[in-house]
């Protein structure tokens, strides 16, 4: 109870406008419930209702932002207590929302990008017979994701965490009549489950060591916890982040998750859900700041994944899978940024927001291209689309410039800061991010060139056309965000001072000066882009993928053997174990049970012959028995 | 008379009864043999009671008589019923209740 009181004292209780934050979760949840419970009766208007709920959530978020901007920076974090969830002795878990700069940033990203994707889906899913169900799931995802980022304790966060996992599963497998989609959904669910074990372990350790699971309580008590426990908690949280954010070694599900409808890939598997791991680490910064070993692990995982994702992205011919590799790589940047401590948190989150815009925009662009190309995803069958899909070309192009980090587009501001913070940590980490930026430039140029430049390599019956306005308008808005979002956040929003009260901020002092770093980054990016442009725009792209390629290309096409390793290390030993257990069960356990039953049966079939029906033989048995009893009694007495 | 004679008589009677039960097929005779065994036991009870100056054995003898009387009533009724239906008093003929 004492701890509970302290936590409440640390953050002011919400009053006035901010106490309506619960609407953020309630509105989309109501949308999902009405659409799912209402069934076919809501078919006619259900999708509009879901879009309305999403937009209403966005309006609430904007109102909350204006309210927060009116307060002093120290008073911006508030807690909205809804009700007591668990109260056992001194252990309290409230259902309470924490509205501060960090959670509000996420809320704004989710509701703005999410609303745009809702609108886009009106066009994209127009002819799908399960359109109502799709929008219900999207609304449900909204509610779960907002629960995740608004919770004020790890247990409520876990509820949202599982909720987005469920939404992701349902939406990846939305076209479950395709076996590949059904399998991909299960794969994503299982990989996420491994990560969830980490989160639940972390929560249990916090409960055991600190006695509370609220963010404020854990942050306050973290300095009193011993180092190795903090490291363990940090590693468990990192495992959770790896599962949700598709980081090495749990990365393989994200590429298959592209089986879902493209708006889902844009919303869940690029802009919001997969970044939940970054949120988790930033939210737990009090633990990571005190556990340098865990931070090193975070940097390590982020660095590996950022290179892996980029390398996979270079070899994929499926436009969505190439984008998925890119998402992995960019989230690797963010994870690496959070591992750098106060130097990096702000910029990891900054990159997360700009990435949410430009990557969602590019996914929607990819969806638009697919829409015009008979749902083909093979980039070798695209080419020269810049003439027939002018809006898609421009919006995708702006996203492309943003992810490359060409000034003054969004990615330039956020990625450069991460690279700078990485050089602040060590030159080696900095070089990894720099190489990653070069590879990113190469594969994005390759994608851009194969899709929009070169010669048309279309299949015969394909007549590309621009998508309807419901699809292009969200793309345009996201493109504007990709172009100017970075500048707006940095110069108008002052992202460092905005987020500093929540996650802390520290200037990178060891890094080389911007005058050296910025030109070299741009140079490397331009080299990568030039190689990509020369190979895929100026030279002819062969339609069937070349077979005689280097071992590196083969490895990248196979996702750097992620699936093969999973199969060899986990699946086959697992199958072997289950087969052994089945063998043991059917032969040994069943053998003992069936054997003893058989033995008793044999004995009984012999023994029952004694029941022969002759009264005189029974009498003889009794006499012998009585004689024996007497004999025993006599023997006992004599001895 | 010494105790030995009573015990010997009791043992002889019991043995005759036991042999009767085991060897005779006629249900009535087997029944009589059972009664003889009961009475042999009664004789031993009473004799030991007298020798020990204790009434317990005598009381038990009365119980045995009561049980024997009840047993005779039920047993003879069963023998009569079987004889009526099967026209035989041999106990080897009524061996249907078996494995």
pLDDT: which is higher, A592 or B95: A592
* Smallest CA–CA distance from A608 into chain B, residue: B99
Among A119-133, A263-277, A379-393, A494-508, the minimum mean pLDDT is found in A494-508
Å between A624 CA and nearest CA of chain B: 11
Asked, for residue A602, whether it belongs to a domain, the answer is yes
Task: Tabulate helix, strand, coil % of chain A (nearest 5).
Answer: 80, 5, 15
Asked, for residue A413, whether it belongs to a domain, the answer is yes
Q: Hey, are the CB atoms on A615 and B99 less than 8 Å from each other?
A: no
What SS3 state is found at A373? Answer: coil
* Average pLDDT over every residue of A110-117: 93
- pLDDT score for A295: 93
Task: Looking at A95-214, list the stretches that DSSP marks H as alpha helix, in order from N- to C-terminal side.
Answer: 101-124, 131-150, 154-172, 179-210
Q: Hey, are the CB atoms on A613 and B97 less than 8 Å from each other?
A: yes
**Residue ranges of chain B whose CB lies within 8 Å of a chain A CB:** 18, 21-23, 25, 30, 91-92, 94-99
Cis peptide bond upstream of A210, omega within 30: no
Residue A502: band (very low, low, confident or very high) from pLDDT cuts 50, 70, 90: confident
- pLDDT score for A406: 86
B97 vs A contacts (CB less than 8 Å)? 613
Q: Hey, are the CB atoms on B95 and A614 less than 8 Å from each other?
A: yes
**Closest listed residue to residue A171, CA positions, set A179, A182, A160, A180:** A182
Asked, for residue A330, whether it belongs to a domain, the answer is yes
**Burial (Cβ within 10 Å: 0-12, 13-18, ≥19) of residue A98:** buried
- pLDDT score for A455: 84
Asked, for residue A1, whether it belongs to a domain, the answer is no
**Closest listed residue to residue A217, CA positions, set A71, A72, A101, A90:** A90
Above pLDDT 90, what percent of chain B? 75
Residue B97: band (very low, low, confident or very high) from pLDDT cuts 50, 70, 90: confident
Residue B61: band (very low, low, confident or very high) from pLDDT cuts 50, 70, 90: very high
- pLDDT score for A10: 57
Residue A184: band (very low, low, confident or very high) from pLDDT cuts 50, 70, 90: very high
* Average pLDDT over every residue of B38-58: 93
Q: Of A557, A590, A625, which closes a domain?
A: A557
- Assess whether pLDDT exceeds 80 at residue B1: no
B37 vs A contacts (CB less than 8 Å)? none
> Is residue A379 a contact partner of residue A305, using CB atoms and an 8 Å limit?
no
pLDDT: which is higher, A627 or A387: A627
* Average pLDDT over every residue of A65-69: 89
Q: ipTM for the complex?
A: 0.89
Residues A533 and A500 in one domain: yes
Among B18, B91, B95, the residue with its CB nearest the CB of A623 is: B18
Q: Hey, are the CB atoms on A612 and B99 less than 8 Å from each other?
A: yes
Asked, for residue B32, whether it belongs to a domain, the answer is yes
* Smallest CA–CA distance from B34 into chain A, residue: A619
Expressed as residue numbers, the domain containing A462 is 291-557
Asked, for residue A2, whether it belongs to a domain, the answer is no
Q: Residue B41: give its domain's CATH number.
A: 1.10.287.3510
How many residues does this entry show for chain B?
99
DSSP A262-305: HHHHHIIIIISGGGHHHHHHHHTHHHHHH-HHHHHHHHHHHHHH
Residues A536 and A575 in one domain: no
Name the strands in the sheet holding A12-13, side by side, starting at the edge strand that comes first in the sequence: A12-13, A78-88, A91-99
A611 vs B contacts (CB less than 8 Å)? 98-99
Asked, for residue A472, whether it belongs to a domain, the answer is yes
**Residue ranges of chain A whose CB lies within 8 Å of a chain B CB:** 608-609, 611-616, 619-620, 623
* Average pLDDT over every residue of B2-19: 93
- pLDDT score for A329: 93
**Closest listed residue to residue A25, CA positions, set A107, A120, A109:** A107
Residues A348 and A396 in one domain: yes
**Closest listed residue to residue A80, CA positions, set A162, A152, A163:** A152
If one counts the domains in chain A, the total is: 2
Residues A461 and A610 in one domain: no
How many residues does this entry show for chain A?
639
- pLDDT score for A7: 40
If one counts the domains in chain B, the total is: 1
Q: Hey, are the CB atoms on A613 and B22 less than 8 Å from each other?
A: no
Task: Tell me the pLDDT of chain A averaged across its residues.
Answer: 89
- pLDDT score for A5: 37
* Average pLDDT over every residue of A348-363: 92
Residues A574 and A524 in one domain: no
**Closest listed residue to residue A401, CA positions, set A386, A389, A415, A411:** A411
pLDDT digits (tens, 9 = 90+) for A121-171: 998 888 888 899 999 999 999 999 999 999 999 999 999 999 999 999 999
- Assess whether pLDDT exceeds 80 at residue A8: no
How many C-beta neighbours within 10 Å does residue A394 have?
17
Among A608, A615, A620, the residue with its CB nearest the CB of B99 is: A608
DSSP A377-402: -BGGG---HHHH-HHHHHHHHHHHHH
- pLDDT score for A236: 95
B21 vs A contacts (CB less than 8 Å)? 616, 619
Asked, for residue B73, whether it belongs to a domain, the answer is yes
Å between A588 CA and nearest CA of chain B: 34
B23 vs A contacts (CB less than 8 Å)? 616
- pLDDT score for A460: 81
Residues with Cβ within 8 Å of residue A1, at least 6 apart in sequence: A90, A92
Above pLDDT 90, what percent of chain A? 54
Give the helix/strand (H/E) hosting A13: strand A12-13
Asked, for residue B47, whether it belongs to a domain, the answer is yes
Residues A569 and A525 in one domain: no
**Interface A:B, Cβ pairs < 8 A:** 32
Q: Hey, are the CB atoms on B98 and A620 less than 8 Å from each other?
A: no
Residues A574 and A527 in one domain: no
Among B18, B22, B98, the residue with its CB nearest the CB of A612 is: B98
* Average pLDDT over every residue of A5-22: 67
Residues A516 and A618 in one domain: no
Residues A530 and A387 in one domain: yes
**Burial (Cβ within 10 Å: 0-12, 13-18, ≥19) of residue B81:** exposed
Cis peptide bond upstream of A515, omega within 30: no
- pLDDT score for A199: 94
Radius of gyration of chain B (CA): 16
Residue A535: band (very low, low, confident or very high) from pLDDT cuts 50, 70, 90: confident
pLDDT digits (tens, 9 = 90+) for A272-301: 999 999 999 999 999 999 999 999 999 999
Q: Of A557, A592, A609, which closes a domain?
A: A557
A606 vs B contacts (CB less than 8 Å)? none
Residues with Cβ within 8 Å of residue A429, at least 6 apart in sequence: A299, A303, A336, A340, A422, A423
Whole-number Å distance between alpha carbons of A528 and A407: 16
Å between A617 CA and nearest CA of chain B: 8
Q: Hey, are the CB atoms on B98 and A613 less than 8 Å from each other?
A: yes
Residue A35: band (very low, low, confident or very high) from pLDDT cuts 50, 70, 90: very high
Among A102-111, A180-189, A497-506, B64-73, the minimum mean pLDDT is found in A497-506
Asked, for residue B93, whether it belongs to a domain, the answer is no
Q: Hey, are the CB atoms on A616 and B98 less than 8 Å from each other?
A: no
B91 vs A contacts (CB less than 8 Å)? 614-616
Residues A462 and A588 in one domain: no
Above pLDDT 70, what percent of chain A? 98
Expressed as residue numbers, the domain containing B24 is 3-86
Residues A302 and A434 in one domain: yes
- Assess whether pLDDT exceeds 90 at residue A457: no
pLDDT digits (tens, 9 = 90+) for A218-270: 999 989 889 899 999 999 999 999 999 999 888 889 998 998 899 999 999 88
* Average pLDDT over every residue of A76-83: 86
Residues A532 and A591 in one domain: no
Whole-number Å distance between alpha carbons of A216 and A455: 58
- pLDDT score for A1: 33
Among A127-136, A271-280, A493-502, B64-73, the minimum mean pLDDT is found in A493-502
* Average pLDDT over every residue of A173-189: 92
Q: Of A497, A523, A557, which closes a domain?
A: A557
């Amino acid at each position: 109870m004492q701890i509970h009181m302290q936590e409440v004292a640390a953050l002011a209780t919400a009053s006035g406008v901010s106490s309506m934050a619960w609407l953020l979760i309630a509105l989309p949840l109501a949308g999902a419930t009405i659409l799912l419970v209402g069934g076919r009766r809501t078919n006619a208007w259900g999708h509009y209702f879901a879009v309305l709920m999403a937009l209403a959530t966005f309006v609430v978020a904007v109102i909350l932002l204006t309210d927060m901007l009116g307060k002093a920076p120290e008073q911006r974090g508030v807690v909205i207590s809804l009700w007591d969830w668990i109260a056992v002795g001194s252990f309290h878990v409230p259902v309470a929302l924490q509205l501060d700069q960090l959670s509000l940033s996420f809320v704004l990203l989710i509701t703005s990008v999410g609303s745009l994707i809702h609108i886009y889906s009106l066009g994209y899913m127009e002819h799908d017979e399960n359109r109502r169900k799709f929008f219900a799931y999207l609304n449900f995802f909204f509610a779960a994701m907002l629960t995740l980022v608004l919770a004020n304790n790890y247990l409520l966060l876990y509820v949202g965490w599982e909720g987005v996992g469920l939404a992701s599963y349902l939406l990846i497998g939305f076209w479950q009549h395709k076996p590949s989609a059904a399998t991909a959904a299960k794969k994503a669910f299982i990989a996420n489950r491994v990560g969830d074990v980490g989160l639940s372990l972390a929560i249990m350790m916090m409960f055991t060591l600190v006695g509370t699971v609220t963010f404020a309580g854990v942050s306050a008590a973290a300095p009193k916890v011993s180092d190795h426990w903090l490291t363990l908690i940090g590693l468990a949280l990192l495992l959770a982040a790896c599962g949700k954010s598709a980081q090495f070694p749990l990365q393989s599900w994200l590429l298959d998750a592209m089986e879902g409808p493209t708006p889902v890939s844009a919303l869940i598997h690029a802009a919001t859900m997969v970044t939940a791991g970054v949120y988790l680490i930033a939210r737990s910064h009090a633990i990571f700041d005190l556990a340098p070993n865990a931070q090193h692990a975070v940097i390590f995982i982020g660095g590996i994944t950022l290179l892996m994702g980029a390398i996979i992205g270079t070899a994929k011919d499926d436009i969505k899978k190439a984008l998925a590799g890119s998402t992995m790589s960019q989230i690797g940047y963010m994870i690496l940024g959070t591992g750098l401590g106060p130097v990096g948190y702000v910029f990891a989150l900054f990159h997360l927001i700009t990435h949410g815009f430009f990557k969602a925009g590019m996914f929607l662009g990819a969806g638009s291209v697919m829409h015009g190309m008979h749902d083909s995803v093979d980039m070798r069958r695209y080419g020269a689309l810049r003439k027939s899909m002018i809006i898609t070309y421009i919006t995708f192009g702006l996203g492309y410039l943003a992810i490359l980090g060409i000034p003054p587009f969004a990615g330039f501001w956020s990625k450069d800061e991460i690279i700078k913070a990485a050089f602040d940590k060590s030159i080696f980490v900095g070089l990894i991010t720099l190489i990653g930026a070069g590879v990113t430039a190469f594969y994005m140029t390759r994608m851009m060139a194969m899709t929009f430049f070169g010669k048309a390599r279309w299949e015969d019956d394909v007549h590309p056309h621009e998508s309807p306005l419901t699809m292009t308008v969200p793309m345009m808005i996201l493109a504007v965000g990709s172009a100017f979002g970075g500048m707006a956040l940095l110069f108008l929003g002052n992202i460092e001072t905005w987020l500093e009260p929540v996650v802390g901020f520290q200037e990178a002092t060891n890094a080389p000066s911007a005058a050296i770093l910025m030109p070299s980054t741009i140079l490397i990016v331009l080299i990568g882009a030039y190689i990509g442009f020369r190979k895929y725009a100026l030279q002819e792209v062969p339609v069937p993928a070349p077979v005689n390629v280097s071992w590196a290309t083969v490895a990248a096409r196979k996702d750097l053997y992620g699936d093969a390793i999973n199969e060899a290390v986990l699946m086959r030993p697992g199958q072997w174990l289950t087969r052994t257990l089945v063998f043991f069960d059917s032969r040994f356990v069943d053998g003992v049970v069936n054997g003893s039953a058989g033995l008793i049966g044999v004995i009984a079939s012999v023994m029952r012959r004694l029941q022969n029906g002759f009264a005189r033989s029974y009498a003889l048995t009794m006499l012998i028995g009585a004689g024996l009893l007497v004999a025993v009694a006599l023997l006992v007495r004599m001895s | 008379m010494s105790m030995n004679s009573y015990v010997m008589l009791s043992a002889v009677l019991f043995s005759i009864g036991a042999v009767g039960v085991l060897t005779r097929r006629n249900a009535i005779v087997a029944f009589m043999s059972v009664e003889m065994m009961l009475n042999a036991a009664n004789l031993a009870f009473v004799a030991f009671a007298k020798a020990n100056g204790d009434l317990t054995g005598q009381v038990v003898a009365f119980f045995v008589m009561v049980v024997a009387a009840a047993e005779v009533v039920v047993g003879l009724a069963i023998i009569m019923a079987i004889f009526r239906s099967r026209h035989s008093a041999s106990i080897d003929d009524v061996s249907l209740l078996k494995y």
